[in-house]
Amino acid sequence: MWLFNMPNTRTAGMLQSGRSIFLHLPAMLLLAGLVALTAGCGFHLRGSAALPESMAVTFIKSNQPYSSLVDDFSAALKIRDVRVTQERGEATAVLNIIENTIDTGVLSVNTSGKVLEYEIIQTIRFSVVTAGDEPLVPEQTIQLNRDYVFSSTDVLGKQRENNVVRANLQTNIVNLAMLRIAAAARQGN
């Protein structure tokens, strides 16, 4: 009993740290239970979709080879361990960007006819073929839209918001295209 009365001894410190472990025990048990529950139901993080092996070296063909869409596709392919080439001859696959259109429309106006909301609509059409022009992914069309509130008193801020909305919209379209390519590869196997 004399150990409990001596606060400066090494044993007293060990007893206090032992008590703090017991204070955190319910939280640790809850966390372990949640991990076991999610693992048991088959849950796992999605990660990036696996692309076909025949896309190991890909050439991106577009009417606008220096566009931000080509840059976004190139970045998405590199994340998935695909080498993007500038030379058509060394490619094992070709990603054809057939169409890329961006339209802006008015969603709502106020009583004096001034615009309150805009809608941005982006549509892409693409396909993927092997180096021998055999289709890996038939022609696909993806269309997404986003809207944003417009204020005539904050034109500069709304222009920046427009740019951010367009960039996010395009990133989402490219990610959907990658998922479609991966799905087509799974169906082909």
* Three-class secondary structure assignment of the chain: CCCCCCCCCHHHHHHHHHHHHHHHHHHHHHHHHHHHHHHHCCCCCCCCCCCCHHHCEEEEEECCCCCHHHHHHHHHHHHCCCEEECCHHHCCEEEEEEEEEEEEEEEEECCCCCEEEEEEEEEEEEEEEECCCCEEEEEEEEEEEEEEECCCCCHHHHHHHHHHHHHHHHHHHHHHHHHHHHHHHHHHC
Q: How confident is the model at residue 46 (pLDDT cuts 50, 70, 90)?
A: low
Closest Cα to residue 125, out of 146, 142, 103? 142
Q: Residue 108 pairs with which residues in a beta bridge?
A: 117
pTM of this prediction?
A: 0.70
CB 82 within 8 A of CB 56: yes
Whether pLDDT at 37 is above 80? no
**Measured between alpha carbons, how far is 39 from 21 in angstroms, rounded to an integer?**
25
Closest Cα to residue 163, out of 151, 153, 148? 148
Q: How confident is the model at residue 137 (pLDDT cuts 50, 70, 90)?
A: very high
Whether pLDDT at 186 is above 70? yes
Segment 95-131, tens digit of pLDDT:
999 999 999 999 999 998 888 898 999 999 999 999 9
Segment 66-94, tens digit of pLDDT:
999 999 999 999 999 999 999 999 999 99
